[in-house]
Structure 1
Amino acid sequence: MDSVVLVTQRLSRSTLYDELTRNSESLEENGITRVLRIGDCLEPRVTAESVFDGHRLAREIDTSDPAVPLWIRS
């Protein structure tokens, strides 16, 4: 039997981000100043791209705007 599996709709997964940022007062009370989105939270990606997102953010977390990659800002 032959089969074809179509992947035609890919959605970002931002549920965790949405839940974390829903209550900004609670974040502030716990000393959390920002929550950043990477990987599939932004848009569906292959695993390697999501891993690179995490690596890039770890290197650039102390920059003025870590949500925007340095190579885009320069």
Structure 2
Amino acid sequence: MAERWCTSCHAVGPGAGRATDGAPTLQSVADRASTTVTSLTVFLRTPHDRMPDLSLTREETEDLIAYILSLRRR
């Protein structure tokens, strides 16, 4: 799912290189101390100037969040 929705701006794979247009890599998002299920849920459901409204279903949102958090380096 991340490949389909996120790759136009974000580098999505573990250890992926630079993202485009200054968008953070999903790895860097996952590694932030402030990144939680709640913070990602709020972020993905709130429109932003630089990020399109993805209109994700609840299940898609949960799956995307699970993927992002799986990238967190321990």
Query: Quick check: which has more Rg, 1 or 2?
Result: 1
Higher relative contact order (CA 8 A, sep 6+): 2
- TM-score, normalising length from structure 2? 0.28
